[in-house]
Every structure is written in C-alpha cells, then in structure tokens.
Amino acid sequence: MNQGKCFKMTPLEYYSKHASDQYEQKLKRTKSFLQKINQDYSPLVQATSLGVEDMIITDLIHQLNLSIQISMLDTLKLHPETLALKNQAEIYYDIKIKSYYPNKKTTQNYIKKNGKNAIYQSTELRKECCHIRKLIPLTDLLRNYKGWITGLRKEQSNFRANLQAIEPEDKEKDQPEVKLNPLLDWTNGDVWYYVKTHHVPYNTLHDHFFVSIGCKPCTRAITLGEDFRAGRWWWEQNETKECGLHVSKPISFNSYQS
C-alpha cells in the first residue's frame, strides 16, 4: 500500500516535530561551513536536484548572500512537479537556475538501439541511461568551478553513511577539485524542521512520500519501513542504488567541522 494512503500526515507535518537535539548547533556549523568554503573554493556551484535538502542549501545561500551559482541537470525525464518547483524557486529567491540537458541525438540513439523501456531490462542499461542523461551533462555543469555543493546526507543510505563534508575529486581539466556536503550530519527531522520554520518551497511530491526524487520513470513513493532510497530504481536488487554522480574518494577536513 502506498504510504501516502495509509499515513495521513505529510512528511512536513510529521518529521518537523522531530528535529535532533543538536539541530541549532548543526545549523550554525552549516552556515559557517558555507561561508568558509565560499572563501576557499570560489568559484562554487550548487548542483541542485531540487530535492528538499538542496532547497535548504539554496535557502541558506540566499540568506547568507553568497556568490554561488545554482545549476541543475534536466534529464528531460523529470516530473512536472520538479519543473514547477524550479520556476517557483526562481521567483521566490529572485535567481536564475541554469539547466543542463542531455545530447538529443545521443538519447535518440540509445532509445532506437535499446527501446523506450530499456532501463527496466538490466542495471547496465539503466546506468547507461544515467550516464547519458546525467553524467555527461554534469561535466558541462561543473566546468570551470573549483568546488561543487550537494545535498547528500549520511542518513540517506549505507553508501552515503561513509561520506565526508569535503571530498576530493579525481581532478580533470576544467573540473572541480572538491565535492562539498554541508548537510551531511543532518537528520530527516532536522531537514523538515528547517523547511517548516523557514518556509522553504519544496517539491509537492514529498507530500506523497516520494522521498528521493529523480527521473519520473525511476522514482516511486516509499512505504512505511522502507529505506530512504527504496523508491529509486526499485526493480533492482543491489543495495547501492546510485547513478554515478556521487562516487569519489573521501577525506576528512576537520577544520571545517569545528
């Protein structure tokens, strides 16, 4: 049964009541972290998925008046609700979110060769689709930036539990040297408490228990007791459900954690 049908409270109503005891300290550290990395790794780009964590980061960038570019990957397979949020955020924060798209000919060739439903046939074909629609455009999105900011949190999956606030990237020409994760230690309760108290716009799909929102064919709502990432590529059995955007070699920079 869909959780939205059997659980009458929205995530905002439920989780915003359960911020962690350390929430205020985390918020203070996150603001300091963003200000420090803006000094140390400029120019910076926030690669937003328009997920609730990314919306918090955009809100903080706006609050702190930081000169950080906000960009997104439009795979041409996003939910209408996600695209509506982009427009809403641009108006709300008076910003322009720059979109990056997959190559039209490459996507057409993939479909012609493998069919419209190829992603459901094998993990390899699904990852190839992710590569075409996400990883290749990401290279363009990140070009000429020293660092990029994500909304990853340790709580989201076992794989992400091992991430660090600052992770070195395999430096390639014109690509960032670090990936930056300001909300790494935030809980789900912290996230929704911030959204409620700061009136942050968010994707209405979250109200229907779409927790991790990606492309429309690859995303579903989760049910009670399921992992945060269970709604992504749910037909696959492997535990590490990633598209390839967030695989790197972590190190700890303790000076940013104080």
Point out the catalytic residue in the list 129, 215, 218, 243: 243
Is the residue at 170 inside a domain? yes
pLDDT above 80 (res 237): no
The per-residue pLDDT for range 28-70, each reduced to its tens digit, is 999 999 999 999 999 999 999 999 999 999 999 999 999 999 9
Q: What pLDDT is recorded for position 5? A: 45
Let me know if residue 129 belongs to a domain: no
Confidence band of 258 (pLDDT split at 50, 70, 90): very low
More confident residue, 218 or 243: 218
CB 239 within 8 A of CB 228: no
Q: Is 57 helix (H, G, I), strand (E, B) or coil?
A: helix
Counted domains in the chain: 1
Specify the range with the lowest mean pLDDT, choosing from 3-17, 51-65, 216-230, 235-249.
235-249
pLDDT given at position 12: 78
Structural domain contains residue 219:
yes
CATH no. for residue 183? 3.40.50.620
Confidence of residue 80 (pLDDT cuts 50, 70, 90): very high
Confidence check: pLDDT of 116 > 90: yes
**CA 107 centroid distance within chain:** 23
Helix, strand, coil percentages, rounded to 5, for the chain: 45, 10, 45
Q: Residue 249: its pLDDT value, please?
A: 43
* AA identity, residue 60: L
In the residue annotation, 243 being an active-site residue is answered as: yes
Instruction: Convert the pLDDT of each residue in 199-212 to its tens digit.
Output: 999 999 999 989 88
Task: Calculate the average pLDDT of the chain.
Answer: 87
Residue 253: is its pLDDT beyond 90? Answer: no
172-191: pLDDT as tens digits: 889 999 999 999 999 999 99
> Does position 251 have pLDDT exceeding 70, yes or no?
no
Q: For residue 100, is it within any domain?
A: no
Domain for residue 245, yes or no?
yes
Q: pLDDT exceeding 70 applies to what percent of the chain?
A: 87
Domain membership flag for residue 104: no
Q: In this structure, is residue 168 part of a structural domain? A: yes
Residue 221 inside a domain? The answer is yes
Domain range for 188 is 3-93+142-250
Q: How many CB atoms lie within 10 A of CB 250?
A: 13
DSSP at 9: S
- How many residues does the structure list for the chain? 258
Q: How far, in Å, are 52, 134, 151, 215 from residue 130 at the CA level?
A: 21, 5, 19, 10
Query: Among candidates 116, 114, 170, 117, which has minimal Cα distance to 142?
Result: 170
Give residue-wise pLDDT tens across range 95-115. 999 999 999 999 999 999 999
Amino acid identity, position 73: L
**Which pairs from 227-233 meet CB under 8 Å and 24+ separation?**
227/157, 228/155, 228/156, 228/157, 228/188, 229/156, 229/157, 233/119, 233/126
In this predicted structure, what is the pLDDT of residue 18? 83
